Structure formats: structure tokens, C-alpha cells
Amino acid sequence: DTGVSQNPRHKITKRGQNVTFRCDPISEHNRLYWYRQTLGQGPEFLTYFQNEAQLEKSRLLSDRFSAERPKGSFSTLEIQRTEQGDSAMYLCASTGETGVTQYFGPGTRLLVL
Amino acid sequence: GENVEQHPSTLSVQEGDSAVIKCTYSDSASNYFPWYKQELGKGPQLIIDIRSNVGEKKDQRIAVTLNKTAKHFSLHITETQPEDSAVYFCAASISWGSNQGGKLIFGQGTELSVKP
């Protein structure tokens, strides 16, 4: 399977802990997007990378959130000092340089207790 | 910024009937409109998309129409089957012909239930 992969698929943590998620895009896709989806809502844009450059960040991405894509391949999303309001599905998507279709991974479901 | 409204929030149809989901968008610069299907516990899966230079696109039982003047676009599913039951999301973006990155702005979703 050469689709977008995300790990872990599920994460349960206690409030105040740090968590890190990983996204592996489709091979050679140079654009990578992070979205957050809460129950009963559509995904909301968080940030996107073109290669290793983080080109846009949403206002939703507070200073407790940081995303990286160090070599322009996989990306990580870290949440520091988690809060219960961070509980959501975190989705990653990728697309090629000349394409517009965003292919989504299965998501990481975070539950903050 | 862009805002996308989607209706209805839930839709129940009998197997074999047609289903229509409607979306409106606010930013006239949006030029790409995908539709995604999301099953429980899974990521969104693209089912069809349309660019602003086209008014209609069809793929087997699925069709999408776009009215740029009214800023409306709709998803039409004919001959619905139980396996069509899922949550459907519309989205809008400025994805081509510019360097604006193509972030998707999603509607709130429609839960479609197809009863056998």
C-alpha cells in the first residue's frame, strides 16, 4: 500500500503530557497538510509544508503545537502540555507539486484525559 | 476567509433512490471543489472533484455540478446502495493557477443513510 500512513492510530494521554504524531506522505509528494477533525465536524486546516518549508499555519495552531518536516519526506506534529480540548482526530494529507488532489491518511485519534 | 456551508446535515434515503447534498462557498477566488466520503474510523476518501472551469462532472453513479455565479455546488448520487452510507464532506480551495498552497476548507458534513 503506497497511501498516506499515520502513526500511531490511537493515542490516550493525560492532560499536561506531550504527544507526537507522525505522517508519511505518498512517495514524492512534496506538499503535506495537517488537519484536525472534532466529532461531527469537517476537518479544519492546521498547517502545510512544501518540501521542508512550513508555508502556512492556521490560527488554530497555538504555540503548544509544532510541526516539522525536516527532510521534506515524513512530518511530525507535536502537542505540548495537552489539554482536553485537544482531543480530536489529527489527519494528514499529501499532494504532488502539480496536482491538487489531497490524499488523506487514516488519522491519529487523540484522547486527552 | 473562505467559509463553506453544507446541507443537509443528515439524509436518509431508500436503496435505489437518489441523494443530493448541497454546498455554498463564500470566496469567489476558490477554484477547486472536491467531495470526500468518510467511513467510521477512517480518513476522508476523495470520490469526485470539479474545477471552476467546468460546470458538471460525472463518474458512474456520482455527479457534481457547480454554479460559480451563485457559488453553489452539489453532489448527486443515483441508484443509492447501502454501501453508500457514510459521512460526505464538500470542500473548497484555491488550488491551481496560484501559489496559495491549496488548503481545503470543509463543510460540516452530511451523514447519509441508505436503507435496504
- Segment B13-58, tens digit of pLDDT: 999 999 999 999 999 999 999 999 999 989 999 999 999 888 999 9
Beta bridge partners of A103: A94
**Do B35 and B12 touch, CB atoms closer than 8 A?**
no
Question: Which residue of A45, A105, A106 is in closest CB contact with B103?
Answer: A45
Report which of residues B95 and A59 the model is more confident about: A59
Residues of A in contact with B104 (CB under 8 A): 33, 35, 43, 45, 93, 102
* Single-letter code of the amino acid located at A58: S
Cβ–Cβ of B49/A101 closer than 8 Å?
yes
Element (H, E) at A32: strand A31-37
Q: Tell whether B36 lies on the interface with A, counting CB pairs under 8 A.
A: yes
CA dist A65 and A96 (Å) reads: 25
Pairing of strands A53-57, A44-50: antiparallel
Q: Tell whether A29 lies on the interface with B, counting CB pairs under 8 A.
A: no
Write out the three cell numbers for A78: 507535536
Residues of B in contact with A56 (CB under 8 A): 101, 103
CA dist A72 and A78 (Å) reads: 17
Going from the C-alpha of B105 to that of each of A49, A72, B24, the distances in angstroms are 17, 24, 11
**Do B26 and A90 touch, CB atoms closer than 8 A?**
no
Write out the three cell numbers for A57: 499555519
With 80 as the cut, is the pLDDT of residue B97 above it? no
pLDDT of residue A96: 82
With 80 as the cut, is the pLDDT of residue B98 above it? no
Residues of A in contact with B42 (CB under 8 A): 106-107
Other CB atoms closer than 10 Å to residue A35's CB: what's the count?
Answer: 27
Which residues are within 8 A (CB) of A25 and not within 5 positions of it... i.e. 6 or more apart?
A4, A32, A73, A74, A75, A92, A94
With 70 as the cut, is the pLDDT of residue A11 above it? yes
Query: Could you tell me which chain A residue has the CA closest to the CA of B32?
Result: A100
